[in-house]
Amino acid sequence: MRYSDWMTAGRMVLMSSAVMGAALVSDVVRAEASFRGATEIKGITISPVSVLPTAPKPAKKRESCTFRIEPKTTAGQLVAAKGWAVTGEVKIGSYTAVSFVGQCEEGGSGTEVMTRGNIGIFSDKLLAIAYAKQADDPLIGTVRQLDGGGARLYDGDRLGAPVADLKLTDAGEFILTSLAAFDSVCGGSDKIPNVFNLPIDKARKLITNAGWKPVQAKLETDRDYENNLHKAGLTEVDGCSGTGMNYCRFEYEGASGKLSITTTGDPEVEKGDFPKVLRYEVKCGAK
């Protein structure tokens, strides 16, 4: 399979988040003290608030946001009604977490820059907002659902890397924590180790130790880069973009389905340097 056949989920985006800054101080009303939140992530604050500020002007800065979604939850619709571009919606217990941004700009190489990113936490109303302490710190980009509950926060840096997990404790407190050592997938029937930002040769060892088996791919290219990965023993490489960020995909299979690992970068494989893991995707039940 060629790279162009499977990279169909949309363009990679460049997300640079910025705190709502003065808006959080002057434009919002503090929520009731019953909300409990904490963060272990340096540079991010969670503030109890009950009124969402209106998105910054001009609105046209959000019209072309590639990561913008049509909100399906009441919370997401409330955010959109304030002019923000909603980028993610997840359920955490009986609550909803919504990521949203205030500006999008082209980032080059098929990417996009999204600034003023935040996360709103809602019950039947807004309870709190998570934001970066420094306006230019790209810590918050979007949120995605984790299997079994909770959400993963992806940063606003160039590749939108995962940086934290948002969890609700048994005591009813929201906590932003470091990434879990393992992710539960496919209803808990399998697990994936935390291999983000690891060179693919090191990530491969952890993945196979967790029970995933490499799927040998048939290369359909004469490009040296893929051939060098193949020669280095990474026979599961299924193709690389060859341009821009040089995304490559590696395929594995387990008891619960198929696992695809995406890497980025083009270090000199022949010298023992390997591209690093950017993200993964699991197709449960696939054979």
C-beta separation of 155 from 141 below 8 A? yes
Strands, sheet with 111-115, edge to edge from the N-terminal-most edge strand: 14-15, 111-115, 103-108
The model's pLDDT over 155-195, given as tens digits with 9 standing for 90+, comes to 877 788 899 999 999 999 999 999 999 999 999 999 999 99
Closest alpha carbon to 237 in 220, 225, 249: 249
Would you state the structure tokens that stand for residue 287, as one six-digit string? 């054979």
Give the per-residue pLDDT at 136: 72
Reduced DSSP (H G I as helix, E B as strand, rest coil) percent helix, strand, coil of the chain, to 5:
15, 35, 45
In terms of pTM, does the model score above 0.95? no
Cβ–Cβ contacts within 10 Å for residue 108, how many? 11
Instruction: Please determine, for residue 49, whether its predicted confidence score (pLDDT) is greater than 50.
Output: yes
Distance in angstroms (rounded) separating the CA atoms of residues 160 and 166: 16
